[in-house]
Structure 1
Amino acid sequence: MAVSTGRPRRVVIVGGSISGLFHGVYLKRHGSDVVILEQDPKTIRSSHNAGIAIGPAALEFLAKYDDTGVQSCIPGVRTRLAYRQNLYWKDTNITKHLTSWGLLYRILRANFDGLTSEAVPQPPKPRESDGKAEYRAGKRATGLWYHDGVVTVQFVGEDGKEDRITADLVLGADGLHSTVKTLLAQATAKEYSGYVSWRGTINESELSPKTAEYFANRTVLGFYERNYFVCYPIPPDSGSFAPGTRLINWVWYWNMDESYELDQVLTDIHGYKHSNTVPSGLINPEIWKKHLANTVPSLSPTFAELLLKTENPFVTKVNDAICERATYHDGHVILVGDALSTFRPHFALATEQAAKHCLALGKVWDGETTLEQWEKEAIIWATKIRLGSRTMGAGHVRGWGEFFGAAWESLVFMVRAQLGWA
């Protein structure tokens, strides 16, 4: 693999979500001209009010490259464990920095292309060293070719018209179902976990005072028989952190093998069967009502209230996937974020992975390390997290048989990595 130092002058990023924006802001701040191609036609992508965690790499990135001055997260939220009807089973010192996907997206967009939003009504002015930045919504990549140091990306717009753009570097930041991976004919080890995540949010003010107080200032993991909840406070997309305006975000992991039942859950109100996620507002209400009727009686009243008062939940098949390679065409095409590795979300590290990839690639462009070393470290880290999250999911959702198998596979890999054999 040919590796050169120095930052690319022209960059195309396929995928305009969090990973694409991390890399887009970073490269813009260092003088590259960046075009992001995002297939979603909306000017501002829908967030479903989904919650995310922000780790050390993401915090480092924001400290260096975010010029909005907007608060990005609720810092240092402690974790409580609940077990069935015992809501106060154990308090821990585990902390997370919590935010919403929509708020982080708006902060990054404000830094990248000056997007104005309720969260960032006055986007920052460009720095003198910034390159040009363009976010093209409604553009779907359809082809990719490499010749003599130049990558050509073909894309089609909502109007059906095709166009092409050339770049020194193309980043595939387009997630689990990456088009760039398909265009590269990259084999991916993808696996359905055997369970889904029901998700939703509710404003603190819509809950009873007792329930709102219980969830307001902590992450709560609620364990039941082969299913469990993760609940935590997040700001709305508008970026409000005032008590009573925040949302309680909940995720409910539920066993569901490949079956007719899963097909029904993934079929929306229009009769369309989704391959992965049924968005908020499209879940068949009869399916949701039936699920609640069968499960709520076994839950504590506090968790039951969250579910019963949530409007428009959504559901996602929990998958994981990892590529064997991250770099292609002499390092001029690179997979980053979820396009390289998608974890089961138990450790909440997808955002952190994207930030780590971005900051570490900066060291490659600065000549401090090589692209080969970046790729090796990225894949080893991703494999550790992937195996660890599979172990956690198996232990709390799938049962002891899968847990011991996943734990053993994780342990073997950790030993091999420690010995330099991974």
Structure 2
Amino acid sequence: MTTFPKSVVIVGGSIAGLLHGVFLKRHGSDVTILEQDHSAIRSSHNAGICYGPSVQEFLRLYDDTNIQSCQAGVITKLAYRQNIWSRDTDIARHLTSWGVLYRILRANFDGLSSEAVSAPPAPRAGDGKANYWSGKKVTSLLKTDYGLLVGFVGDDGREESCTADLVIGADGLHSTVRSLVQAPVVKEYSGYVSWRGSVCEVDVSVETASYFQDRTVLGLLKRTYIVCYIIPPDSASLVPGTRLINWTARHIHTNTVPSGLVCDEVWKEHLAEMLPLVPPHFTELFLKTKNPFVTKVNDALCSQAVFLDGQVLLVGDALATFRPHFALATEHAARHCLGLGRVWRGEMALGLWEKESLNYATKIWLGSRVMGAGLLRGWAEFLLIAWKYVVLFARSKLGT
């Protein structure tokens, strides 16, 4: 019977890495997370995320903080151009912020105290050891007679190493682990970016705050769309008035600009282009955003997830990075985590986990491209990618 690995190094200390870290710790593995970012606690930039049943199941089984992690979205409302009310749908999402989920997972993994979790839970009986090392850039990966030797460099430039039975690459779109094992991957820039920002509820009018209450609002424009929803701040507060109205607007563009570095003139030009096209509640939201930022929308897809005889695995965005239209990145990572649990309990072969993970990733990768093309790129690209998706779906049904 397959068992859980005794020692694990996880490269990448974001959501995917922490999901796997908490999961393995709870099953007795000694886990070390190597995170390249030098900060002891990562900055969230008030980024919003949503999650589905796999994350819900994970938190039910392994979260001991008793912190409410999300703002449940009752409906998704579609607004077309300047029309305030258009159409309601039955689509409901669990909405939260990256910062809140990160802090909950850190509290469970290594006992980090934060504004969200001031009293982290004690370890469970049978938990393995957990280390979260910041400022560690992985540089090498070598298979030896004693396990896998992971080399890394600290902020001080000193070269270090550690050994493990298993290495998990959870280090995102630009994965170092993926490069070290020479994983076959397709990476592409979509040709568009996400303008992003957030505004506290108390900083907008009562009418605007009410408009975004208990719903996700999807504003459809010509080759642009905007998504708005309420999320908790890093303190995890869900008290009305303390929450944030998070917005994302997709737009044809060429580069990434971090929070606080967007030139005022560029932001004003963008506003001049957008404001005449959107409903008044969106207008107020944009005008009261203090630190907007821009992120490039890239994607990546590997055709292999298991390396070095099963001792190296790629998960989350390191295996497949989706364009964000379906908002499935966190759910994707949780699926990998729970699926690997079936492998280590002897319920599934590792090869079958890899096959299922790749099939799911390919469908979402193509599906997100179809949606992005339909909303932003025009009919020609939409029809081409939609045809590829249909062919893929047919082949998966036929088992080819």
Q: Same fold (TM over 0.5)?
A: yes
For 1:215, the aligned partner's letter is: F
2:94 is aligned, of 71, 92, 97, to: 97
Name the SS for the 1:374 alignment partner: helix
Name the SS for the 1:361 alignment partner: helix
Deviations 1:119-155 (A, max 9, x none): 1000000011100000000000011111346111100
Superposition RMSD in Å? 1.1
Contact 2:48 2:97 in 1 (8 A): yes
For 1:14, the aligned partner's letter is: V
1:242 is aligned, of 224, 239, 242, to: 239
Task: Give the structure 2 partner of residue 271 of structure 1.
Answer: none
Distance 2:322 2:295 in 1: 13
For 1:345, the aligned partner's letter is: P
2:321 is aligned, of 324, 328, 342, to: 342
Structure 1 residue 314 corresponds to structure 2 residue 280: no
Contact 1:29 1:129 in 2 (8 A): yes
Task: Give the structure 2 partner of residue 285 of structure 1.
Answer: 264
Name the SS for the 1:80 alignment partner: strand
Distance 1:242 1:253 in 2: 29
Unmatched segments (≥5 aa) in structure 2:
none
For 1:208, the aligned partner's letter is: S
Contact 2:172 2:318 in 1 (8 A): yes
Q: State the Cα distance separating 1:169 from its structure 2 match.
A: 0.1
Q: State the Cα distance separating 1:215 from its structure 2 match.
A: 0.9
For 1:199, the aligned partner's letter is: R
Distance 1:344 1:209 in 2: 33
**TM-score, length-normalised on structure 2?**
0.98
Q: State the Cα distance separating 1:354 from its structure 2 match.
A: 0.5
1:80 is aligned, of 55, 77, 82, to: 77
Structure 1 residue 114 corresponds to structure 2 residue 111: yes
Contact 2:50 2:328 in 1 (8 A): yes
Deviations 1:360-381 (A, max 9, x none): 0000000100110000000100
Contact 1:77 1:97 in 2 (8 A): no
Task: Give the structure 2 partner of residue 259 of structure 1.
Answer: none
**TM-score, length-normalised on structure 1?**
0.93
Structure 1 residue 353 corresponds to structure 2 residue 350: no
Contact 2:196 2:247 in 1 (8 A): yes
Deviations 1:148-169 (A, max 9, x none): 4611110000000000100000
Alignment of 1:28-43 (within 5 A): 28-43=25-40
Task: Give the structure 2 partner of residue 140 of structure 1.
Answer: 137
Task: Give the structure 2 partner of residue 20 of structure 1.
Answer: 17
Distance 2:37 2:104 in 1: 18
For 2:13, the aligned partner's letter is: G
For 1:155, the aligned partner's letter is: F
2:126 is aligned, of 126, 129, 132, to: 129
Contact 2:139 2:151 in 1 (8 A): yes
Distance 1:287 1:164 in 2: 45
Name the SS for the 2:340 alignment partner: helix
Distance 1:217 1:251 in 2: 17
Task: Give the structure 2 partner of residue 403 of structure 1.
Answer: 382
Distance 2:20 2:74 in 1: 27
Task: Give the structure 2 partner of residue 387 of structure 1.
Answer: 366
